[in-house]
Amino acid sequence: MRRAILVWALISLVLGCGDSVTPEPSAGGDPSDGLEPIDVPHVSWEVLESMILSGKAIMVAETHSNWAIVTMKDGSSVASREPERGAVFQVVSRCGRPCAGIGIAIE
């Protein structure tokens, strides 16, 4: 229960409870097709993937607009557009033992 509250609080902080989003013009297609988190630095999918696989992530989250957000042990967070829904969770699964304790959240 305590972990669930912490995960919800972190997601709310990162996403700003829906207030801190703007249309994503670089995702391709219609800029109104998704919302991007603006309070988190954006990185390429490959960089986000390597950060998870490093074993230094403490939480991963997926938004309803296909953004993956990773929070690192040092408290920093980054975001990237997922190539497909659920991709961030596939990376955590591939990571194996180093990622066994990662918190997972879905918006």
Query: Which residue type sits at 62?
Result: E
Q: Poorest-confidence range of 5-9, 18-22, 58-62, 95-99?
A: 18-22
pLDDT value of position 11: 56
| pLDDT confidence of residue 37 | 73
**What's the pLDDT at 72?**
95
pLDDT value, residue 20: 40
Q: Please provide the distance, in angstroms rounded to a whole number, between the alpha carbons at the two ends of the chain.
A: 17
Q: What is the pLDDT of residue 102?
A: 94
pLDDT digits (tens, 9 = 90+) for 16-75: 544 343 334 444 433 335 567 778 899 999 999 999 999 999 999 999 889 999 999 999
Which of these CATH numbers, 3.30.1490.190, 3.30.720.210, 3.40.50.300, 3.90.950.10, describes 2-106? 3.30.720.210
pLDDT at 107: 83
Q: Return the pLDDT at 19.
A: 38
Which long-range contacts does 87-94 make (Cβ < 8 Å, 24+ apart)?
87/45, 88/48, 88/52, 88/60, 88/61, 88/62, 89/60, 89/62, 91/49, 91/52, 91/53, 91/60, 92/52, 92/60, 94/53
Nearest CA among 46, 85, 95 for reference residue 62: 85
Domain ranges of the chain: 2-106
